[in-house]
Amino acid sequence: MTEVQTRLLQVLEETGGVTGPVLAGRLNLTIRELEREIAALRHMEKVRGERRGSQVVVCLW
């Protein structure tokens, strides 16, 4: 697991889940970079997307 992926998981643990743009801002990543990291973590079943109201948030599996 990369340093960015570890930081991403830490943010999700602290927050309980956030939207992609908020997460990208917290990690200083572009949306495209964030999507690549999330795809790898989804493949490892570490994170998932969840609908909360009208938003989709990234949260821990």
Q: Per the structure, how many domains does the chain have?
A: 1
Structure confidence at residue 6 (pLDDT):
98
Please state, in angstroms and rounded to a whole number, the distance separating the CA atoms of residues 61 and 50: 10
Domain that holds residue 46: 3-60
Mean pLDDT by 10 residues, the chain (61 residues): 97 97 97 98 98 96 94
Structure confidence at residue 9 (pLDDT):
98
Structure confidence at residue 18 (pLDDT):
97
What is the DSSP track for 11-51? HHHHHS-EEHHHHHHHHT--HHHHHHHHHHHHHTTSEEEEE
Output the pTM of the full model: 0.91
CATH number at residue 17: 1.10.10.10
- Token couple for 22: 């908020």
